[in-house]
Each structure stands twice: as C-alpha cells, then as structure tokens.
C-alpha cells in the first residue's frame, strides 16, 4: 500500500510539472501564424554581447531597422510576412557575417541564430500554407531594410544589424 501511495504521489507530481508552462517560452502571434520561443533566452544571449557588438559599430548615421521605416507601424495583417522575412534576413545575411575573435561572443551569436532558424522554419510552414500573405507595406519596409543593409560593406552591415537586434525583439514582444 505504501508503494502504491508513493507511485501515486510521484505520478501526481509529474502531472503537475507537465502542466506548468516552461520558463521563458511564449507563443507569439504574427497575424494568423503562431511561433513559440524563449524570448528570455534570446534576450539574455543578446544582452551578454550587446555592448561588445555595439562598440564594433562605427557607423552612427544610419539605422537598418529603425525610424523612419519603423517596424512599430506594421499593420497586423503584414506581421507574419515581415517577421518571416526578417528571420530569413538575420539567418541568411546577418549571423553568417558576424564572426568575431571572441569565442564567447561567437557562441552567443550562434545560440541566437539557432533560435531564429527554428522560428524561421515555423513561420516558413505557415507561409507555405498561404496563411502569411505579404502586402505592399511589408514589401516596402523589407526593401528599405535591405537597401540600408546593402549600402554598407558586409561586415559593417552585419554588425550594425546585430547591434539593432533589440529593436526587433522589442517589436516582437509588443505584438498582439
């Protein structure tokens, strides 16, 4: 009988733990698409390298992600599309060109890149199901981001874009 109570108690504890949300994991809604991610983990990784990366950015007259083509003015119908393309932008252009001589920084960049790759895949599936439509506004904003990026040399553009990652993270967290 004691063994049965112990097993029942252990089973109850496991059920309770299984029902609890994982720390830091949140579901983000980008239009009709949903992506779960640990923003806490991504932010911690970025905050650990932010000062290092931003100190490497010597171009102060240009921003890749911010005003006047701000993400904060994207209509909800375009959120999925622009988010999908921004994940693709960071995975395919930014993270690939942000290698430093500091192994700690490189590990953090790699960790953030892996999180973005996972989110990109999830939104890619939604995009393939035609749930993630791209409107004129998102196309124009993405075009401007790419023009800003391509106006710089590859390394400078990647460092600047990584240094502005908090702009993207703030925007994602404010998504409805």
Question: Quick one: which of 128, 130, 159, 157 has its CA closest to 145?
Answer: 157
CB 162 within 8 A of CB 105: no
> Which DSSP category does 99 fall into?
-
CA 66 to chain centre: 16
Mean pLDDT of 99-112: 94
C-alpha 80/C-alpha 29 separation (Å) is 8
Domain boundaries, the chain: 24-173
Question: Quick one: which of 98, 110, 88 has its CA closest to 41?
Answer: 110
The secondary structure of 101-113 as a DSSP string is S-HHHHHHHHHHH
Residue 114 has pLDDT above 70, yes or no: yes
Read off the pTM. Answer: 0.81
Q: What is the pLDDT of residue 116?
A: 94
> Which DSSP category does 70 fall into?
-
Burial class, 132, CB count within 10 angstroms (exposed 0-12 / middle 13-18 / buried 19+):
buried
Percent of the chain whose pLDDT exceeds 90 = 40
Higher pLDDT, 77 or 51: 51
Average pLDDT taken over every residue of the chain: 82
CB 85 within 8 A of CB 138: yes
User: What distances in angstroms separate CA 81 from CA 15, 69, 101, 127, 131, one per listed residue?
Assistant: 38, 16, 34, 8, 9
Classify domain 24-173 at the CATH topology level: Growth Hormone; Chain: A; (1.20.1250)
Query: For residue range 30-64, what is the model confidence (pLDDT) as tens digits?
Result: 878 888 888 999 999 999 999 999 999 998 888 89
Query: For residue range 151-165, what is the model confidence (pLDDT) as tens digits?
Result: 999 999 999 999 999
Q: What is the pLDDT of residue 29?
A: 81
Q: At what angle do helices 39-56 and 165-173 cross, to 10 degrees?
A: 150
């Amino acid at each position: 009988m004691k063994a049965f109570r112990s097993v029942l108690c252990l089973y109850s504890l496991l059920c309770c733990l299984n029902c609890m949300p994982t720390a830091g994991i949140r579901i983000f809604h980008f239009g009709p698409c949903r992506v779960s991610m640990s923003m806490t983990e991504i932010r911690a990784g970025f905050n650990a390298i932010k000062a290092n990366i931003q100190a490497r950015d010597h171009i102060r007259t240009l921003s890749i992600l911010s005003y006047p083509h701000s993400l904060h003015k994207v209509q909800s119908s375009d959120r999925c599309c622009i988010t999908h393309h921004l994940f693709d932008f960071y995975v395919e252009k930014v993270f690939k060109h942000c290698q430093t001589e500091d192994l700690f920084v490189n590990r953090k960049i790699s960790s953030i890149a892996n999180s973005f790759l996972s989110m990109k895949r999830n939104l890619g599936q939604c995009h393939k199901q035609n749930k993630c439509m791209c409107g004129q506004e998102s196309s124009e904003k993405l075009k401007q981001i790419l023009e800003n990026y391509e106006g710089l040399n590859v390394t400078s553009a990647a460092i600047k874009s990584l240094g502005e990652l908090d702009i993207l993270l703030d925007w994602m967290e404010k998504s409805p």
